[in-house]
A and B are shown apart, each in its own frame.
Chain A
């Protein structure tokens, strides 16, 4: 290639443009993230791109800023998909903000790692909150959330009626045999591509959030919660192996796709699946599509009662905030029922307090969403409250994926137990 006069002119032009551009670029910087100095409290949230929730949080912040002169909270929004990486990177460089939101199961790890400070003086207020929306570790509360979500089996009444399948209730959920028989009957009809879609295409926290409750319903668990020292017997005992064998059989029997579509809720609405295992966040779209025909059923009782994951996004304050009193002041202000109600309403989630639930349409006594609150109260199980949880979650995800793909259940679970135990031990059991 030879440089033509035009190319030369372009190159020289680019160079000429780049120099002032680089000078300007390199002098432009964002504000400091740690905040807390001079009355400004920086707040991070995972809601970039989520207009409804961001607007709800912004309203609280605006109210707080207008309510007093001493502190000014400033929001920085991050996209949810990469939020944890941003926080961990900021923690590594000691640039955490004063106030931040956290995915519930990560709270013990972040508290243990020294990212979070306890929420002192909020006990009376937080006693009204659902236990699953509070982030606790070592007998201290580090975070609270405005809402919880619930896992449900979404289907249509007309589908169940067509195949003569009983509509389960909170007090009388499907038994394992009933559930298996229902799926087999739907499969035999050949009417649906998938009798059940459990959203295996989702990644990250979805796997432990969605599938460890099934394990718990069988009688197993991710770890022995008495001291969190070992997963032996919990994750590889007879009940856990029974779960793993059943979990794999869902695929081998053709009841569940090995890999779901990119968006299982849309596949359900498009009629590809008869039953969808998903979160309450699908309620708006599915109701829009099927109206009163939509059913949100409790997960089946696989042995020890229906179980669903508990804990969603929560708010806490960072340990390196220069003005802990200011951050705590905001947290107290923001914990009012009216804010719990407004955030839950705008995000279509389960309000964290009964007083807030009474203010949100659908969650009042007899409202169409009251069942979600019921499920959260009756069936929710917190993910293991140990700083080792992120490792356990990764290990469980890997193991469950291996099992679904045909790995020997006992061997896969034994290996997971070995790895989890080694991690807990190498960290001194997080004492």
Chain B
């Protein structure tokens, strides 16, 4: 029974998925839109493309221009064109000013570890709340959801204090205080109320009869979680992964507070290296291009999942 469910795909049929609405079908089957309306829609889409796309174009193009030219080109369409004194000097300057490879490695490690552990921990929490049905599960869920209204800025100082008090078991034995480490940038962000809520919502839509059938076959709760519920939760996993990835990649305030050593800083803090009294705008654009590139590549690769996740969660990343 378990083998059938894990290898088959029919179990996902009928699951609620907000993104998959009937609207496109209705449009395809309905009347063709009036040409004027069609043109207006097209125009609106082009305008939106320009509004969202031109800043990226400006960033990339400016990263190849000298500072003075960037400002000289402002106010004309030349700002978006690779004209004038084009060179890769700004990129060379970036490598001379910040330890880019180190920052990038740190961000990748921090983000990947948090995303993967976040998926495991939050799905387990949601599974317990959704499937095991212990007394007080509703209240626990309510308390978890209530934490969503507290902004991180409010928690930052108490979290900093606690991070400095906590013991940690490492290869050198027990040490006190997590500040200036990788773990202080990862562990506080693994458990996430919104991720638990998303998993909870999704798990609730999976028929509970599957659990009963698995139990009859002798499966325990962990086997049900691992072999039945998680394999059926691809959309929820993708949503949580994406919605965890973006804020972790963009982490700025917390590393500023909790990390003092340059070797442990993530990419976003690096942008401050360029803001001096005589700011190097070209280098800022080059650095921004370099740290945005991985996110853009991921977006293009997982475009469909990304759009689905945004639609299904009802929030923007």
Binding site for B on A (CB under 8 A): 1-3, 7, 11, 14-15, 17-19, 21-22, 25-33, 44, 48-51, 76-82, 85-86, 89-90, 92-95, 261-263, 265-267, 269-270, 279, 281-282, 284-285
Bound CA span A279–B276, Å: 13
Residue among A17, A18, A94 with the highest chain B CB neighbour number at 10 A: A18
Assuming A1-B234, A1-B305, A26-B181, is B160 touching A266 (CB within 8 A)? no
Q: Quick one: closest A residue to B254, CB to CB? A: A89
B147 at the interface (CB under 8 A from A): no
Can you show 24 pairs from A to B with CB atoms below 8 A apart? A2-B9, A25-B182, A26-B170, A26-B186, A29-B170, A29-B181, A29-B264, A30-B180, A30-B259, A49-B272, A50-B276, A76-B261, A79-B272, A80-B276, A82-B269, A92-B160, A93-B161, A95-B179, A261-B74, A263-B71, A263-B279, A266-B67, A279-B277, A282-B278
Bound CA span A48–B257, Å: 16
Chain A residue contacts of B260, Cβ below 8 A: 30, 33, 44, 76, 78, 86, 90, 95
Chain A residue contacts of B253, Cβ below 8 A: 85
From A18, A30, A81, A82, contact of B263 by CB (8 A): A30
B interface secondary structure, majority:
helix
Chain B residue contacts of A265, Cβ below 8 A: 278
Bound CA span A21–B74, Å: 44
Chain A residue contacts of B117, Cβ below 8 A: 18, 22
Which of chain B's residues 68-89 have a Cβ closer than 8 Å to chain A?
68, 70-72, 74
Bound CA span A51–B94, Å: 12
Q: Least Cβ distance of B75 to chain A in Å?
A: 9
Query: Does the CB pair A18–B264 fall under 8 Å?
Result: no
Chain A residue contacts of B157, Cβ below 8 A: 89, 92
From B12, B113, B304, contact of A21 by CB (8 A): B113
From A50, A82, A284, contact of B256 by CB (8 A): A82
From B177, B183, B305, B308, contact of A25 by CB (8 A): B183
Chain A residue contacts of B96, Cβ below 8 A: 51
Which of chain B's residues 95-132 have a Cβ closer than 8 Å to chain A?
96-98, 109-110, 112-113, 115-117, 120
Chain B residue contacts of A81, Cβ below 8 A: 272, 275
Bound CA span A127–B87, Å: 50
Assuming A21-B112, A33-B180, A81-B275, is B257 touching A1 (CB within 8 A)? no
B227 at the interface (CB under 8 A from A): no
Query: Does the CB pair B9–A22 fall under 8 Å?
Result: no
Query: Does the CB pair B281–A30 fall under 8 Å?
Result: no
Assuming A85-B257, A261-B74, A270-B68, is B113 touching A25 (CB within 8 A)? yes
Which of chain B's residues 235-273 have a Cβ closer than 8 Å to chain A?
235, 237-238, 253, 256-264, 269-270, 272-273
Bound CA span A258–B213, Å: 70
Chain B residue contacts of A17, Cβ below 8 A: 112, 116
Q: Quick one: closest B residue to A84, CB to CB? A: B256
Bound CA span A30–B179, Å: 8
Chain A residue contacts of B110, Cβ below 8 A: 25
B192 at the interface (CB under 8 A from A): no
B201 at the interface (CB under 8 A from A): no
Known pairs A7-B234, A261-B74; list 18 more (Cβ under 8 Å).
Answer: A1-B17, A14-B116, A18-B115, A30-B180, A30-B264, A50-B276, A79-B272, A79-B273, A79-B275, A85-B256, A94-B164, A262-B279, A263-B67, A263-B279, A263-B281, A266-B68, A281-B277, A285-B278
Chain B residue contacts of A33, Cβ below 8 A: 179-180, 260
Q: Quick one: closest B residue to A51, CB to CB? A: B97
Number of interface residues of B (CB under 8 A): 65
Query: Does the CB pair A89–B257 fall under 8 Å?
Result: yes
Query: Does the CB pair A89–B112 fall under 8 Å?
Result: no
Query: Does the CB pair B113–A22 fall under 8 Å?
Result: yes
Chain B residue contacts of A49, Cβ below 8 A: 97-98, 272-276
From A14, A26, A267, contact of B182 by CB (8 A): A26
B171 at the interface (CB under 8 A from A): yes
Bound CA span A25–B304, Å: 31
Q: Least Cβ distance of B283 to chain A in Å?
A: 9
Query: Does the CB pair B113–A269 fall under 8 Å?
Result: no
B187 at the interface (CB under 8 A from A): yes
User: When each residue 178-197 of chain B gets 1 if its CB lies under 8 Å from chain A and 0 otherwise, what string results?
Assistant: 01111100110000000000
Query: Does the CB pair A3–B234 fall under 8 Å?
Result: yes
Chain B residue contacts of A21, Cβ below 8 A: 109, 112-113
Query: Does the CB pair B257–A31 fall under 8 Å?
Result: no
Bound CA span A31–B179, Å: 10
Q: Least Cβ distance of A335 to chain B in Å?
A: 24
Bound CA span A93–B276, Å: 28
Q: Least Cβ distance of A308 to chain B in Å?
A: 16
Chain A residue contacts of B177, Cβ below 8 A: 93
Q: Least Cβ distance of B49 to chain A in Å?
A: 25
Chain B residue contacts of A282, Cβ below 8 A: 278
Bound CA span A262–B75, Å: 13
Q: Quick one: closest B residue to A89, CB to CB? A: B257
Q: Least Cβ distance of A15 to chain B in Å?
A: 5
Q: Quick one: closest B residue to A11, CB to CB? A: B237
Chain B residue contacts of A3, Cβ below 8 A: 231, 234
Bound CA span A17–B109, Å: 10
Bound CA span A381–B110, Å: 46
Chain B residue contacts of A281, Cβ below 8 A: 277-278
Q: Least Cβ distance of A81 to chain B in Å?
A: 4
Q: Quick one: closest A residue to B275, CB to CB? A: A81
Bound CA span A399–B127, Å: 53
Q: Quick one: closest B residue to A26, CB to CB? A: B183
Q: Least Cβ distance of A290 to chain B in Å?
A: 13
Query: Does the CB pair A31–B120 fall under 8 Å?
Result: no
Bound CA span A26–B206, Å: 35
Chain A residue contacts of B279, Cβ below 8 A: 262-263
Q: Quick one: closest A residue to B283, CB to CB? A: A49
Query: Does the CB pair A267–B71 fall under 8 Å?
Result: yes
Chain B residue contacts of A279, Cβ below 8 A: 277
Chain A residue contacts of B304, Cβ below 8 A: 1
Q: Quick one: closest B residue to A193, CB to CB? A: B75
Bound CA span A79–B270, Å: 8
Query: Does the CB pair B262–A89 fall under 8 Å?
Result: no
Bound CA span A263–B274, Å: 13
